[in-house]
Structure 1
Amino acid sequence: MQEDFFPAAEKILSDIENVLKKNPNLIGFEIIPTLDNENKSPVLHVENSLGLASWSVKPLYRYAYNRLLELRQNRNKREDPSTISRWLLGALLLNPDVTTFWNMRRELVKNGRLESTGELHFVAIVLYYKAKCFEAFAYRRWLLQFMLIGDSHTSNVETILEREMTIATISADRYANNYHAWNHREYIVTTFQNSSPENYVEFLKSEWLSSGEWCSLHISDYSGFAYRQFLIKKLLQINRNPEQPTRPETTCREILTNFLNLDIPSLMNAPSHEVLNYLHSTSGILPRHDVNYSAILAGLSYWVEECLFNEELLNLYPGHEAFWYHRRFLSHLLIVLTISYERYSVYKIELIDQKIPRLCSKDVIETRGVNFRSKYSPSHLETAYSRRNSDIIDKARKIGGHQNVMGERFAKFLSGRGLVV
């Protein structure tokens, strides 16, 4: 086609390909605004950065796109795999949102024409340029699955997955509210759990700390807090295993007593199930022999820790909606944990994603009334949480403005769920 005639296209694509092959430390790719100048190479390579002059972007992409489209439409046409790879390189680097081109690259990997490790490097460069590209993240996860199936990569699986965390962090830093990056991070956590269970607890604790630091630096980005919610669920689940404690029991009890603002020596020395019965005001519940109550206590301490972290951010940075919406999740989680403990004497994490009315089965309705959150006395844990919420809302009212608006909305949210303000 005359409109995609660009004599320099193959030379430019070859130059880009050579840079990627020769520099394994290449970090990213950018389009450099320049005036028309076809007498100079548009490919710029400075240290660990790759650039392409803006005047060449449109004709280069049109050339690669049309070549690939012709190849896709004419299945009988044969082309050298290295040439196809080069066309795909240019097309995806400039526009990584085309699913068909990623599928063509998958075919090259499965046929042994492209090496998986090199592909991970290429996708990292694509994500540096377009950090919120779903197709790039999907292809990256496919590559990881493809690699982890092979025996040759099982020895360095932790190194591979930890590198993925770095890629996800860079993408989240470069694009606000990048849920694709955080979803990728969630995928890596789950993959790590299945691939390296012996080191999973330490990995999860490391994620808990690092994500907290990230959220402290990106106070308006709710996607980071959504990831924290995912981690809380994981931490509650991992504590089912008595052989993998996430923190010392003494630390858990100190966090809980400080939250209640009570100096009760018996809480530091009593059996774990008695502490939980006190917190939930369920003294009549007898301990089950098949339950690790120390693990349940540790899981609850993470919820408390997150409430305190949330309060600190609300006080330091008033007016940010992300903090208020995150606290709604913490409120919902408290209700779920309370109902779960009263019904099963354990925390059933499977209930968290359910709507509150669905948790209200016939036996709960009979014991608590139709409005089951308002027809019974709150537990010690709920009382302490409500007291802290009252302080937060009062401060929001004093500050006024948008902070007051968010505080009133939160108060209405709590009231609608039977949590006293």
Structure 2
Amino acid sequence: DEFDVVFSLGEINRSPIINIEHKLGLESWCVKHVYAYAYAKILNAKQAKRREDPVLLLRWTQFCLLIAPEVATFWNIRKTLVREGRVNADTDLLLTKLILSRKPKCMEVFQHRKWLFTSVIARTVHHPANGANDMNENNQIGNLDPVHTECIKQFLFTELELCTITANKHQNNYHSWNHRLWVIQQFSHFIGLNDICKLEYETSHSWISVHVSEHSGLHYLQYLLDVIVSIVDDAVVGNLGEIVPYVESVEKLYLRELEFNRDLIEEYKDHEALFCHRRYLLMRLRDRFCSSPQRTCSPPPPALKRSCVETVNSEWSAVLLGERDLINKCMLTKSYQKTLGEKHAQWMNNVVAI
């Protein structure tokens, strides 16, 4: 379930392959020799345009991809072999998972997994009674029977688990989070968008709590919040509490997120990603509070700052007062947190007109 190149001091007269408890290793001294041999064989077969033994091609491309998964030529050969039925799609799913254990931020690996589903797996699991291929123009599947739906669910949760593993292995793993977003967009309707949003919202919060500098993880949370809000606005769900427990409205959701974000800012100082995410929340919350004609988002006059109740919009005024308090606390520090507080104050003045 894992692969890596193991450093070695020099050539030793023994097998360079290490296999311990399902962990595969390859001693570094042999990598350049074997890779050069396999690479030359692949290019010779490709340039000569001859039909090489598929078994040999599988071995050569498999090794080369374990070492250099960024090379598109190797993936194109694998795609050809999959289309011809020379290799099973499940085999390539296992191979890509093994590659990601060594290079968790490799974009080409995630692209190949997407291709395997949209071009192979999706068309294989679906067999309509009339023989037609029920794939729409966006490569999404239509109605499936319960057995095939369960297969898709299993694939979905496998991909989500893989994305979590790769995100933990490499910080700010944009490609991993982008793949997770794609998985949600493609397969959420198989288990219900409400259920998957509830699950992912809880998972995302837990993950961000221990990865406070992750811009990519926070961006994914922003996507989830936008989806949840659209579900509520479109009346797809009767009560927001079905997705986010103990939250009755969208405004309360954003206020809860601001509180969660502030706790992280005060607990883990000097992380700009948290301030960027906070600005997203403030913009969304301002749009909600200002959507009604009788409401105003202008800050209260100095004479009326004694009580939020005395302002035209008490909720938004309370938010602004909270931002002032947060900025003042940041200014009292002598670390990078002070600079972040100054930037946040400038943003508030320019954008929110605080």
Interval of TM-score (by shorter of Structure 1 and Structure 2): 0.7 to 0.9
Partners of 2:38 and 2:97 lie apart in 1 by 21
1:247 alignment partner, SS class: helix
From the superposition, tell whether residues 93 and 388 of structure 1 become closer, same or farther in structure 2 (CA, over 3 Å): same
Please state if 1:123 is matched with 2:96.
Answer: yes
TM-score using structure 1 length: 0.71
Query: Closer, same or farther in 2 for the Cα pair 1:302/1:64, shift >3 Å?
Result: farther
2:220 paired with 1:241: no
Structure 2 stretches lacking a partner, 5+ long = 127-147, 302-310
- For 1:20-59, list aligned pairs within 5 A: 27-59=1-33
- Aligned mate of 1:342, from 268, 285, 292: 292
Mapped to 2, the partners of 1:201 and 1:230 lie a distance apart of 14
Aligned CA-pair RMSD: 2.5
TM-score (norm 2): 0.84
Matched residues in 1 for 2:237 and 2:217: separation? 29
Structure-2 separation of matches of 1:147 and 1:117: 9
Gaps in structure 1 of 5+ consecutive residues? 1-26, 254-296, 346-366
After TM superposition, give the deviation of residue 47 of structure 1 in Å: 0.8
Q: Would you say the 8 A contact 1:116–1:147 is kept in 2?
A: yes
Per the alignment, residue 331 of structure 1 pairs with 282
Does structure 2 conserve the Cα–Cα contact (< 8 Å) formed by 1:109 and 1:116?
yes
For 1:40, give the aligned amino acid: R
Answer whether contact 1:321 1:406 (CA < 8 A) is retained.
yes
Q: 1:189 aligns with which of 162, 184, 192?
A: 184
Distance across 2 between alignment mates of 1:148 and 1:154: 11
Deviation at 1:419, TM superposition (A): 3.9
Q: How many residues align?
A: 321
Alpha-carbon distance in structure 2 between the residues aligned to 1:126 and 1:250:
38
2:174 to 179, 183, 194: 179
| Change over 3 Å in CA distance of 1:378–1:139 after alignment to 2 | farther
Q: 1:220 matched to which residue of 2?
A: 213
Q: CA separation in 2, counterparts of 1:80 and 1:59?
A: 22
Correspondent of 2:321 among 387, 407, 412: 387
In structure 2, C-alpha distance between the alignment counterparts of 1:252 and 1:226, rounded to whole Å:
22
CA contact (8 A) 1:148 1:154 kept: no
**Contact 2:218/2:277 (CA < 8 Å) preserved in 1?**
yes
Output one character per residue of 1:256-282: Cα deviation in whole Å (capped at 9) or x when no partner: xxxxxxxxxxxxxxxxxxxxxxxxxxx
Deviation at 1:38, TM superposition (A): 4.8
Report the 3-state secondary structure (helix = DSSP H, G, I; strand = E; otherwise coil) of the residue aligned with 2:26. Answer: strand
Tell me the SS of whatever aligns to 1:112: coil
Q: CA deviation at 1:374?
A: 7.8
Q: Secondary structure at the match of 1:417?
A: helix
Identify the residue that residue 123 of structure 2 maps to in structure 1. Answer: 149
Change (3 A) 1:208 1:116: same
- Confirm or deny: 8 A CA contact 1:164 1:188 kept in the other structure: yes
Number of the residue aligned with 2:330: 396
Secondary structure at the aligned position of 1:172 is classed as helix
Indicate conservation of the 8 Å contact 2:231/2:237, yes or no: no
Amino acid at match of 1:326: H
Identity percentage over the alignment? 31
State how far apart, in whole Å, the 2-side matches of 1:245 and 1:102 are: 46
Give the number of the structure with larger relative contact order, counting CA–CA contacts within 8 Å between residues 6 or more apart: 1
1:62-93 C-alpha deviation (Å, 9 max, x unpaired): 11112112222232x11111111111101100
